[in-house]
Amino acid sequence: MENKKIKIGLIGLGTVGSGVYKTLGTFNNIEVVKIAVKNKNKKRDIPNLDESLITDDPYEVVNNPEIDIVCELIGGMEPAYDLITKAIENGKHIVTANKELLAKRGVEIFNFAEKHNKVVLYEAAIAGGIPIIMPIKTILAGNKISKIEAIINGTTNYILTKMDVQGASYDDVLKEAQELGYAETDPTGDVEGFDAAYKITTLATLAFKKRIKFENVYREGITKVRAEDMKAANDLGYKIKLIASAKLDENGRADVRVHPMLVSKDSTLAHIDYVTNAVSLSGHPIGHITLSGPGAGEFPTASSVVGDILAIAAELGTTDYLLPMMRCNHEELADCINILDTQNKYYLSLNAKNNKGVIGNIGNICAECDISVESIVQKNVSENNTADITVITEICKERNMQNAVKAFEESGFINNVNSLIRVQV
């Protein structure tokens, strides 16, 4: 398409969409010809925005015969799914940042795109401005990736970092994060781990070349993490992070999950703070690498979106089958391991009566549940003669740990099971 401008349609002009529009204005071979928004009358801080491009009907974008590439930047399931499939049907290539849609209906979208010989690129959907999708598909394509550990939600990482630095409670830091705009008014998608779970679903599918079903991803948020857990973790040589992880066992089964984790201070991920994201990959022959950077924001995310646009634009008119390496080409469904059948190390915080034999009783329950204890530390005997006890276990089965927690809750000597958090091994 020499000397011909590539025509772009944007669906969404929020934080990311604004960054994309501003960035595309610096390229002479790209022209934005239509932008769909929810509210046409909203005042936007975008210099030289051509108001004639704005519509509140997104179908004016997907049905526009002029447009070569549609960028879907509104998120959510509907109308995003219908808009993307309609755009593909109308001969447009797609760039999206929609992690939820990819996690839940990615198979349908990629199959539909392949049927119509169109490309769907989504670098911005996983880790904002960090390049991870294209590297896995291209320069790392010769590797057998067996493990991923990632911090891929800036809101939760910000909250946990502030809790760690300030010694503050989850509720206090969440309120502060909302006031600063780092957390939504309804923070459920972030703090309960949904956002990270969407992202690790797609990332694991790519890395393992097997399709991961979202419903098979274990998810646990950060709402139960306490300031006391942060202090205890530090004393033990750890930091607490919300980790999205995926690994293959020796039989090729996938263990994919999101939950808080005690991460060793010797680990790179322990030092990824505030809104920074990071993805660590382990495989052969590369060994172990970590990519880190801004996981959200106007221009970091726009960087990934624009990179995808330019990758498609470079091939338009040069071939009948664009970007073969970037297409979804795996059909096998991964056999996923239930969390109860996984093996983990655990941090357990208990509040117990300060009586003789309590430590021994804790050890007995662990032994009965086939759990070996690495350490037990008793601290802070209170005025009402109760004590906080921290237990670190050896590696054991999740099912056994849950049985132990139930036994502690039903015992006469434990007042409360304060926390149960898995430990990085």
Taking the C-alpha atoms of residue 110 and residue 93, their distance in angstroms, rounded to an integer, is: 11
β-strands 120-121, 93-96 pairing = parallel
Q: Does 199 participate in catalysis according to the annotation? A: yes
Angle of CA points 152, 153, 157, to nearest 5° = 110
Taking the C-alpha atoms of residue 7 and residue 33, their distance in angstroms, rounded to an integer, is: 6
Q: Are 418 and 366 in contact (CB under 8 A)?
A: no
CA-based nearest residue to 180, from 155, 151, 153: 155
Tokens of 163: 């809790």
- Number of Cα atoms under 13 Å in the Cβ half of residue 298: 10
Phi, psi of 110 (to 5 degrees): -65, -40
Taking the C-alpha atoms of residue 400 and residue 390, their distance in angstroms, rounded to an integer, is: 18
- Based on C-alpha coordinates, what's the Rg of the chain? 24
Taking the C-alpha atoms of residue 414 and residue 255, their distance in angstroms, rounded to an integer, is: 32
Catalytic residue among 34, 137, 162, 199: 199
CA-based nearest residue to 270, from 297, 300, 234: 234
Question: CB atoms < 10 A from the CB of 237, how many?
Answer: 11
Q: Residue 266: is it exposed, middle or buried by C-beta count within 10 angstroms (0-12/13-18/19+)? A: exposed
Q: Are 189 and 195 in contact (CB under 8 A)?
A: yes
Q: Which helix (H) or strand (E) holds 362?
A: helix 358-368
Task: Name, in order, each residue with C-beta under 8 angstroms of 2's C-beta and a sequence gap of 6 or more.
Answer: 317
Question: CB atoms < 10 A from the CB of 78, how many?
Answer: 8
Q: Catalytic residues, which ones?
A: 199
